[in-house]
């Protein structure tokens, strides 16, 4: 009796995950649509950029926690992911600063 209950529970869990995946995908589509509309709004550039960065960060968090399964992984895996993310972001920032326009001007 317990062997028949285990697959049913596993099937329910898979079905609930599938529903979650579909709901998150729809939410990501709505956020993407809002991002596209935001580009054409007549606001100051810094407001538009801030809104787009926030929307992109929200989408990023949904993707990594739901579609990359960090929500169901051990916390150690999540910590490793964010360490890599911080290192990658720091490297990108450093390269942007090193190769900026002002860094390429000749010394006077």
For every residue of 58-100, DSSP letters joined together read HHHHHIIIIIT-TTTS-HHHHHHHHHHHHHHHHHHHHHHHHTS
pLDDT tens readout for residues 44-78: 999 999 999 999 989 998 998 888 888 888 889 88
Average pLDDT over residues 18-43: 94
27 CB-contact burial (10 Å; exposed 0-12 / middle 13-18 / buried 19+): middle
Residue 2 has pLDDT above 50, yes or no: no
Residue 86 has pLDDT above 90, yes or no: yes
Q: What pLDDT is attached to residue 107?
A: 75
Residue 103 has pLDDT above 90, yes or no: no
């Amino acid at each position: 009796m317990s062997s028949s209950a285990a697959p049913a529970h596993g099937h329910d869990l898979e079905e609930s995950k599938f529903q979650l995946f579909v709901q998150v995908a729809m939410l990501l589509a709505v956020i993407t649509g809002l991002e596209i509309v935001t580009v054409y709004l007549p606001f100051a550039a810094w407001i538009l950029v801030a809104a787009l960065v926030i929307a992109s960060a929200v989408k990023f968090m949904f993707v990594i926690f739901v579609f990359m399964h960090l929500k169901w992984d051990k916390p150690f895996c999540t910590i490793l992911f964010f360490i890599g993310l911080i290192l990658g972001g720091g490297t990108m920032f450093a390269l942007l600063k090193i190769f900026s326009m002002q860094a390429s001007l000749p010394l006077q």
